[in-house]
Chain A
Amino acid sequence: MKFYNCEKACHICDKSQYKENTFIEKLLLQFHLVFCMVCRKYTANNNKLSLAFKKSNLKTLSLAQKQVLQERLQMEMRKQN
């Protein structure tokens, strides 16, 4: 088992926001955080960001849906010109 440096710890922290980390990764990240204040701060901000997205219940249109809107708008613009 290899201990994490800060770069690796941040990467695992990012993955954990999407629940894509393994149990071992989670454990090693926690161990790193005990000793690293910088990564603790990054993790706290990262968690806050995830919470903000969850709370906001933000929705976006997909690229394909935007494409449909754009094409319809452009068609009308061409008609006007």
Chain B
Amino acid sequence: MSIPFTKVSSFLGIDIGSCNTRGALFDQVNGQYHFLSAASAPTSIIHPFRNINDGLLQALLELQESSAHALLDDTSHLILPSLADGSGVDGLVVTFSAGDTLRILTLGLLQDYSAKSAKKLASFIPGCQVISLDLAGTPRRVDQLDAIISSEPDIILLAGGTDHGAINAIQQLEDVIVQACKSFPPEKIPTVIFAGNPTLVEEMVDRFQNVARFFAASNIRPEVNREDLTSGMEVLAQVVREKRTRQFEGFQNLQKICSTPPIPTSYGLDRIIRYLSMRYPSSKGVLGVDLGGTATTIISAQQGVSEMSVTAYGSGTGLKPFLENHTYEQVTRWLPDPSAIEAAPDYLWQKSLHPQAVPATTETLDIEQAAAREILHESMLTHFEQAGFRQASFELILASGSMLTRTPQPGEALLMILDGIQPVGISSIILDKNGLSSILGAAAPINSMIPVQIIDSSAYTNLATVISPIAKAKPGTPILRVSIDYGQSSVTRLDIKMGSLVAFPLPPGQTANIIMEPARGVVIDPFRKANGFKVYGGLCGVVIDARGRPLVLPKEDDLRKQTLQHWASILGA
């Protein structure tokens, strides 16, 4: 029996990732929610376990120990709701990104409109392969039929027609999909989602009866120039949840005790980034980055409206598609050590076979961090293309994923983020060290106070305030004069030269006033006019990244090595 979530005083969040299952515990003290503790264990959906229970139980046992809060009863079941002695929790939310690759086929009438929106919607699901059928290139019905069948989709996502728009063309596609579904063996018949002209929904319900499992969502293109993915996201999440329920033993039982249906991890992060973008009403917006084992999620949001892209590149099994589509040099250029350069290809392929392994030597850690830079960079380029951005200028960048959050030194995480994302202007860089964002996003619709209060707490790590001026000057040319007033007559002044990376110490919780005098033609921040403002401290202090955009590494090996080592030493990486 679940308690209305508005009444819960303690709740448990679980994220079932491709490598790890994480649990995070929250409690309410004096009306304020607090993050208590987090723990993780390897996800147990792989053979021979094929269930979520083993990994989940292990994570909860760890969490129970680290938080000193009883969560499980004598039979190892979660105590829900909590008991009078304080054991157990009152609410449970779950996010998931684990599982075998799901193949989603998208079809839309117009390539730049409904087809584009359908593809975008499908790409929100981590661990899926999106196949788009280009109708312009496949005009014949039989070819469309063959394309659908040969793509062996788990899910077909059909869009097209505005709210009072095309009917006949959609009906023709519907005929082809019905025909295709009849060609699949019963256990391989895909689930069909229609998110187009609502006039056709009733007819489609009839047509797909006894043919395929069918779901209708609101039109993702109700008007030609208006996209609305909200309903489509919910329906797609429901379908993916159903598919995963069939794949993972124990998932159904877990859903029964959840306070709200489990959602894909990317959806939870999207909610938090949208929320944060409302709190930072500048037109710069907020960026969320989650570098996972199988996929990388990038979300940008401005005033509550987000753009999300998920690439199939990650730090675990996601290395395989990355290595298949990129050159080794793209990764090894970030490595100063020749022996690491030589070892990198073999090591990264080996890691793709054993995604749960952790880098045990400094060399393998360097290699993984080099790959992380390129994965972030490639994912950002994909996001730019999808969202139509030209530069990465954000008020706040929230980073998660164990590759970024579990570094020996905070400077290593910051340098990976700066090298991979290459932000411009003034940004605060925050680390979600405990992987809370997606869980808070899952809890948000039922109790909006939880994310608000947790984000304001110390559960997140403020890494640095980074200032990345835009300048076209020769390396070594002074571009900026900076003075930082720490208060109590302590002022630091420095001339910043093009190509340099400079860090000023300013611990978390402290503030300073910064005044910058840019040289002619230098833009400190494309969205901010004032040259003097207050900055907040972080583990890496205040960092001025004047290395230029795009970041270009020296071609000559020795100079490249010196440069990389110099940057690392500045940030204590």
Pair from one complex = no
Instruction: List residues of chain B with CB under 8 Å of any chain A CB.
Output: none
A interface vs B, CB < 8 Å? none
